[in-house]
Amino acid sequence: MDKNLFQQAKEALMDMLNMDGEATETDQQATQQAIDAAYQEASPEEQQQLQQLENQLKEKNQLNG
């Protein structure tokens, strides 16, 4: 079974968090597109999880950059 959009976006966010600021602009754009697509189909609980991961990524990016 294919992974749903939520799972794909969650994995992309986790990958970005683990890259220690080494993500390319293309990586960042692909992750954002996955997040945007997942929000369209996500349940409220899944949307909350995506938001929390996005916030973690933003905080990490501010520390690294």
Contact 42, 13 (CB under 8 A): no
pLDDT single digits (tens) 25-60: 898 889 889 999 999 999 999 999 999 988 988 888
Question: Exposure of 60 by Cβ count < 10 A (0-12 exposed, 13-18 middle, 19+ buried)?
Answer: middle
What is the pTM assigned to this prediction?
Answer: 0.77
Domain that holds residue 35: 5-19+28-64
pLDDT at residue 65, as a whole number = 61
1's tokens: 């079974």
6-30 average pLDDT score = 87
| Banded pLDDT at 7 (limits 50, 70, 90) | very high
2's tokens: 């294919």
| Banded pLDDT at 2 (limits 50, 70, 90) | low
pLDDT at residue 43, as a whole number = 94
57's tokens: 């990524």
Number of domains in the chain: 1
